[in-house]
Chains A and B, each alone.
Chain A
Amino acid sequence: MSKQKIIPIGPYHPLQEEPEYFKLFCDGERVVDVEWETGYNHRGIENLAEKKTFEQIFFLVERICGICSTSHPFAFANCMEEICGLEIPDRAKYIRSIVGELERIHSHLLWVGLAGHFIGYDTVFMWAWKYREPVLDLFEIISGNRNSYAMFKIGGVRRDIESSKFSPIRKELDILTRKIDLLTGAVMDDPVIHARTKKVGTMTKQDILDYAAVGPTARASGVDIDVRRDDPYAAYPLVDWKVITAGEGDVFAKAKVRLLEMYESVKIIQQCLTKMEKLPEGDIETEVWEVPEGIGTGHAEAPRGEVFHFVMTDGSNSPVRHKIRAPSYVNIATFKKSCVGQTISDAAISLAAVDPCYCCTERMATAYDIHSKKQILSGEDLIRLSQAKTRKLKKTVL
């Protein structure tokens, strides 16, 4: 039997959105199996939610994820409005979609940057994160916060976007579109990026269906699902946009889907702003008097895929049960398919391709020899390995 090594990645740093710990079982250069453990940073959010009022839960679920902090309030609002049978004002719908799409843009830019870093393109990392900054500034203009915007409430939104703010948003979107053009061109035309990401971490359509994966991970494998279109909410049915899909299922396809989705987000925001001009300012919420007894299921399309909330109420002002399923919960399970069979140097980018918030990984990743228990590689070594592969390829391809 060949000598097998285990490369553990994690447990994660508490800053991490979802704490994870990966053990990569390697036979020489090749990954033969992946194991996953979690619970290192279990915060008991579902239990906490049962002890808070519905209004307070918005602030709680907003803190589940720092990057896409509006996705959970979005799904929770959809869920509660379904229980209450509420229809929210059009202006609130447009505001919700604007916030949701701005978030998608900055989250995708963040991913493009990290993916670039993992394969040794630190210029892409610097550019993408630089272009992301103005989006966060827009959030500051809209909500007063660069992150955790506290915009949502049952029945509408907490604050209006006044027409005086439309012009800086539009101006920034125009600049941003040109920057995304630049990034997309750089990524799509680079032969080394093609060599590093095509046919790497491939997921077939059937794999996606078996693991019930969602978001860009699913759409890159030809599974045409998007909650914004399939179960329309907020302003998505009121504006013109399309769902981006690709068929290859590899890392390149996932990058392509995310890059092209940013254009759709820009399109959605521009249309929302135009339509909001015709609506009276200040009409942003429907008053809620009581939350009846019942069950509700609400979902929303976060940058990483479908966020799902289930709430059971008993007529009081707190839920009896609040179940939350983030997209990474189903997407991370796909590693078993996407990572196995790859070389270790492709493992980092294959894992990062589903966008599991990978920024803290390298701090805690180490590789051990299964027999001697000696550390053989650290997480930083893994990324260096990935970057070295790109450098080698550059010499041969370019």
Chain B
Amino acid sequence: MTKTMENRLFIEDINARFRDSVLSTTEHSRLRITVTIIPEAVVNLTEFFYKEKGFRFITASGLHSKQGFEIFYHFSNDMSGHVINLHVVLQHEQPVIQSLTEKLSAANWIEREIHELLGIDFKGHPNLVPLLSKDNWPEGTYPYQKDFK
């Protein structure tokens, strides 16, 4: 760890810059923060994290909960040791979000994986074909989708 990052200042900065996009921020511990945003702002926030802050994209985790389809984009600030989760919630019916792949090559495979497991559509992804189950899984069936009815 070579440079510290104060949680309070980071959260204040995020709130000031993206006032209309940030829904909430949670500080889990000294080095773990979750920022919940509106889905439309995901590209802007990612660009801010990757280009301005120099964060490294770790991966993304998708899940289906009662709230809807949730995606946690995990970023690492390797200078300070922080892991920042960018959290979005998409509606149950026709979950769609903008793809990050054009801005960030590293998001390519994980978006394909989330798409095939949960059925989330990543708009603008150059090659949204299944990553894990190509040619051996019925189309339109998503194994991680749950039935909450």
Contact = CB atoms under 8 A, between A and B. Distances in A.
Interface in A298-337: 299, 306, 308, 310, 312, 320-321, 323, 325, 329-330, 333
Given A39-B130, A210-B105, A297 B85 contact: yes
A65 B81 CA distance: 26
A47 B83 CA distance: 24
Contacts of B56: 209, 212, 225
B31 A320 contact: no
Interface stretch (A177-185, A227-235, A341-349, A370-378): A227-235
B117 to A, nearest CB: 9
A262 to B, nearest CB: 23
A38 B129 CA distance: 12
A320 B31 CA distance: 23
A325 B81 contact: no
Chain A interface, DSSP helix/strand/loop, else mixed: mixed
A295 B110 CA distance: 20
Given A212-B56, A231-B81, A333-B105, A310 B72 contact: yes
B65 interface: yes
B143 interface: yes
B136 A39 contact: yes
B58 A299 contact: yes
Nearest to A21: B134
Given A230-B81, A320-B63, A297 B108 contact: no
Contacts of A320: 63, 65
Contacts of A37: 134
A282 interface: no
Given A47-B143, A297-B85, A320-B63, A230 B136 contact: no
A242 B34 CA distance: 31
Interface string A264-291: 0000000000000000000000000000
Contacts, number: 87
B133 A42 contact: yes
A320 B29 CA distance: 20
A294 interface: yes
Contacts of A310: 59, 61, 72, 74
B106 to A, nearest CB: 4
Contact of A39 (B59, B80, B131): B131
B123 interface: no
B28 interface: yes
Interface in B122-149: 130-134, 136, 143-144
B132 A42 contact: yes
A92 B58 CA distance: 27
Nearest to B107: A212
Interface in A144-164: none
A191 interface: no
B79 interface: yes
Interface string B43-64: 0000000000000111101010
A82 interface: yes
Interface in A196-223: 209-212
Nearest to B84: A297
B63 A321 contact: yes
A168 interface: no
B104 interface: yes
A14 interface: no
B54 to A, nearest CB: 9
Interface of B: 1, 28-29, 31-32, 34, 56-59, 61, 63, 65, 72, 74, 76, 78-83, 85, 104-106, 108-110, 130-134, 136, 143-144
Q: Which 7 pairs between the two chains have the least Cβ-Cβ distance? A: A212-B106, A323-B61, A231-B81, A39-B132, A325-B59, A321-B63, A310-B61
Given A325-B110, A333-B105, 9 more contacts: A38-B132, A212-B56, A212-B106, A295-B85, A297-B74, A297-B85, A299-B58, A312-B63, A330-B106
28 contacts: A39-B136, A85-B29, A210-B104, A211-B106, A212-B57, A230-B76, A230-B79, A231-B1, A231-B31, A231-B76, A231-B83, A232-B81, A295-B28, A295-B34, A297-B74, A299-B58, A306-B58, A308-B58, A308-B59, A310-B74, A320-B65, A321-B61, A323-B59, A325-B58, A325-B59, A325-B110, A333-B105, A333-B106
